[in-house]
Structure 1
Amino acid sequence: MDSYTQQVNKELREWQKAMQRGISVPGRLSRGIQRKINSVIPEKVHAALTTAIKQTTRAVISGAGFTSPPPLFEEYLAVREAKVRERISFYKTTAATEGALTGAGGILLGLADFPLFLTIKMKMLFDIAALYGRNVGDYKERLFILHIFFITFSTQDFRNKLYPIIADWENYSKELPEDINAFDWRNFQQQYRDYLDLAKLLQLMPVIGAAVGAYVNHRLTDKLGQSAMNAYRLRLLKK
């Protein structure tokens, strides 16, 4: 095993522990704070976020509007992941710029940003999947992309439930219907909506929205990219 693969295995073990750790006291407190914040947010804002997640979920599962390069094969892991990091860096910059522009406009533009930011994140995941040699023409691979998104932005208790699915994806995916039209995507997205991190709601606030939008978009895009790398490493290194 070369030094790069050793480092990858170390990072992967750390990620696996993070995906399976117990719920900490700070985690419970932050969840309580988030519930209080959610309770004072206008219902139309929640409705807009729910609609954005619903539409994005449907688009990803159907593959509508998302393109990616052909799957990358026969590359050393270090070379493959250098390309992955380049894509993550590109999308972090794109997301930060977009977040700053829409965040400066307060609630209305902030709400406009949410579906745009979801699209940026999903496009990055499609690119990463291809760089790890995955064919996103297969809707089951697109479902895996959604699981990466959900495990990255869900609470720890739900993350603990999602991890075994990702860790055993090859077997789990065999139980999925072969026909995409037989998959109940509405029920699927509803299962996850209430567990998503709503930190980006801060971006809707006037004055600080631009700074928060740039910072949060950059941070969350990087977080998602790292999760994706480790999720695909898990599958790749099992072979």
Structure 2
Amino acid sequence: MRLSDYERKAQREIERWERGESLFGQALGFAMKPVDWAFDKFVPDSVVDSLTDALTQALSSLNDASAWTMAPDDVLSAARDLEIDVDSVEDLRDVPLDELDAVAKRFTSQNTILSMLSGGGAGLGGALLLAADIPVLFTVNFRLIQQVAASYGFPLHGPEYSPLVVSIFNVAASGSREAKSDALRELSVAAAAFAHGSGYKGRKAQGTLREQMGHVPREIAKNLGAAKLGQMIPIAGAAVGAGVNYWFTDQTAQAAMMLSRALYLERKERL
């Protein structure tokens, strides 16, 4: 199916996003080099393991619909507030992209603020509350990914979608071109399945959830854990905690929007 001018423009935005890295991201990467060194040298493997387990646990909720923190009705309500009349989340796939962008942005702003407040409060408690903040941050960002994907008509129900969710998390944590390209390849598989009405089976969807994810959760945990080390500094901890949470959730929001738009566009082109 032919794309509109707005949708062609969105494709170019996605291509630029895949190739590039923001100036903020470059500056953060440079500033984080000594922190990464300190994290690798002084933080015990047990801490990294606990962060990895927290992420794995959040992703494991894909196997349990009752554990979801995102209600499809919230997405439908947001769509109807913008005068988009649909009966189901899946119906949003046939709504013009510019209207869906407006729906998704409602969820990105509210979750970014929520995670920032969580990080600031945890930062006041230093190391004691750092461990408690990580699972909350993962939960907020996991819900954000679900909400954004559903805003474009793709509710990520079931464990078969864990490769997509992991890919988006990995892009948010690393921001690397390799992670973006890997996520877009995974989305291409999903787009073909959605366009042809066949069931989506991710490229990595064999075996247990932990086997599917491989080393990715550990890398995400290390990247985020290193960034949050400054949260343990007295007085400055609240500012660092709020800032890191804001940064990570903003990265998740951008990745979720770009990748969900890519999924929407590729599916439409395949129809």
TM-score range relative to shorter protein: 0.7 to 0.9
Alignment counterpart, residue 219 of structure 2, candidates 167, 175, 195? 195
- Counterpart Cα distance in 1 of 2:250 and 2:149: 16
Query: How far is 1:125 from its partner?
Result: 0.8
Single out whichever of 154-163 and 103-112 deviates more from structure 2. Answer: 154-163
Query: How far is 1:65 from its partner?
Result: 1.5
State the partner residue of 1:186. Answer: 210
Query: How far is 1:4 from its partner?
Result: 3.2
1:131-170 to 2 correspondence within 5 Å? Answer: 131-154=151-174, 156=176, 159=179, 162-163=182-183, 165-170=185-190
Query: How far is 1:53 from its partner?
Result: 1.8
- Counterpart Cα distance in 2 of 1:176 and 1:183: 11
SS of residue paired to 1:168: helix
Query: How far is 1:155 from its partner?
Result: 6.7
State the partner residue of 2:77. Answer: none
Letter in structure 1 aligned against 2:114: T
Do residues 11 (structure 1) and 35 (structure 2) align? no
Are the equivalent residues in 2 in contact too, given 1:158–1:195 (CA < 8 A)? no
Alignment counterpart, residue 59 of structure 2, candidates 36, 57, 60? 57
Query: How far is 1:62 from its partner?
Result: 4.0
Once the two structures are superposed, what CA deviation does each residue of 1:95-143 show, in whole Å capped at 9, x if it has no partner?
Answer: 1111111111000111100001100000111111111101322433343
C-alpha distance 17-157 of structure 1, shift in aligned 2 (>3 A): closer
Do residues 205 (structure 1) and 233 (structure 2) align? yes
Query: How far is 1:152 from its partner?
Result: 2.2
- Counterpart Cα distance in 2 of 1:80 and 1:96: 25
- Counterpart Cα distance in 2 of 1:61 and 1:18: 34
- Counterpart Cα distance in 2 of 1:96 and 1:29: 20
1:115-126 to 2 correspondence within 5 Å? Answer: 115-126=135-146
Q: TM-score, normalised by structure 1?
A: 0.81
Letter in structure 2 aligned against 1:151: V
State the partner residue of 1:237. Answer: 265
Query: How far is 1:28 from its partner?
Result: 9.1
Are the equivalent residues in 2 in contact too, given 1:134–1:141 (CA < 8 A)? no
RMSD after superposition: 3.0
State the partner residue of 1:130. Answer: 150
Gaps of 5+ in 2: 73-87, 194-199
C-alpha distance 115-235 of structure 1, shift in aligned 2 (>3 A): same
Are the equivalent residues in 2 in contact too, given 1:53–1:115 (CA < 8 A)? yes
C-alpha distance 131-163 of structure 1, shift in aligned 2 (>3 A): closer
Do residues 107 (structure 1) and 127 (structure 2) align? yes
Query: How far is 1:228 from its partner?
Result: 0.9
SS of residue paired to 2:179: helix
Are the equivalent residues in 2 in contact too, given 1:103–1:211 (CA < 8 A)? yes
Are the equivalent residues in 1 in contact too, given 2:116–2:246 (CA < 8 A)? yes
State the partner residue of 1:219. Answer: 247
